[in-house]
């Protein structure tokens, strides 16, 4: 189910947070489309924190520390990289109102990025929204092999250590399923979300 947001309008951060608390999130048809649609899927993707799977090869990569992993040092750079066109993807759902709203969420402490750097260049990352004990994953990108995967491993470690109980992926892909992502019916997801919004978790210590 999707409904249009008024074209050309900013997305107020309080409205955006209320949407997440009700199981709704925004998307756009393309980066140059000023309209935003509110989406509430019948089946929701989640990545169970207690069933997160890391392959042996990725574990070896993580142990080698090929990247300098940072948090929130270039949130805008991460969202811009996630919005870039690349092979196999010629459009993006991240438009100007969405970018502006999430950069503001980062400024007020409700959105975060996990970043992979090499030789002072941003080579991979992911970002998402925090609310209560839930982390709502939005998008990820890689400019080097395994960069976003390593960021995901670091994200999950952080969420587990700091009291989070729900990692929302919105939808599932074969890539996310390889880490253990599953689809849950909307009603079950909303029950999980309600539980996750009780109490608080800290993304920072």
* pLDDT tens digits for range 44-76: 999 999 999 999 999 999 999 999 999 999 999
DSSP state of 190: H
Mean pLDDT of all residues belonging to the chain: 93
Q: What pTM, to 2 d.p., does this model score?
A: 0.93
Q: Is the pLDDT of residue 3 over 60?
A: no
Neighbouring residues of 119: CB distance < 8 A, sequence distance ≥ 6: none
CA distance 155 to 157: 5
CA dist 131 → 16, 108, 139, 167, 173 (Å): 11, 12, 17, 11, 24
Mean pLDDT across 137-166:
97
The domains located in the chain, with CATH, are 13-198 (3.40.630.70)
* pLDDT class of 7 with cuts at 50, 70, 90: very low
pLDDT of residue 93: 87
Instruction: Measure the CA–CA gap between 143 and 92, rounded to whole angstroms.
Output: 17
* Whether 173 contacts 185, CB under 8 Å: no
What percentage of residues in the chain have a pLDDT greater than 70?
Answer: 93
How many CA within 13 A on the CB side of residue 60? 3
């Amino acid at each position: 189910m999707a409904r249009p947001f008024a074209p050309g309008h900013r997305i107020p951060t309080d409205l955006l947070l209320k949407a997440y608390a009700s199981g709704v999130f925004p998307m756009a048809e393309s980066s140059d489309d000023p309209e935003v649609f509110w989406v509430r899927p019948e089946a929701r993707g989640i990545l169970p924190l207690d069933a997160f799977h890391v392959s042996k090869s990725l574990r070896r990569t993580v142990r080698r520390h090929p990247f300098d992993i940072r948090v929130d040092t270039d949130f805008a750079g991460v969202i811009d990289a996630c919005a870039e066109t690349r092979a196999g993807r010629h459009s993006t759902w991240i438009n100007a109102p969405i970018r502006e709203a999430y950069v503001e969420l980062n400024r007020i402490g409700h959105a975060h990025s996990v970043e992979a750097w090499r030789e002072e260049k941003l080579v991979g990352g992911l970002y998402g929204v925090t609310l209560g004990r839930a982390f709502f994953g939005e998008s990820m990108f890689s400019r080097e092999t395994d960069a976003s995967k390593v960021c995901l491993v670091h994200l999950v470690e952080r969420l587990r250590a700091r009291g989070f109980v729900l990692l929302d992926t919105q939808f599932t892909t074969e890539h996310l399923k390889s880490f253990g992502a599953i689809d849950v019916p909307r009603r079950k997801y909303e029950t999980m979300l309600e539980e996750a919004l009780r109490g608080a978790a800290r993304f920072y210590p």
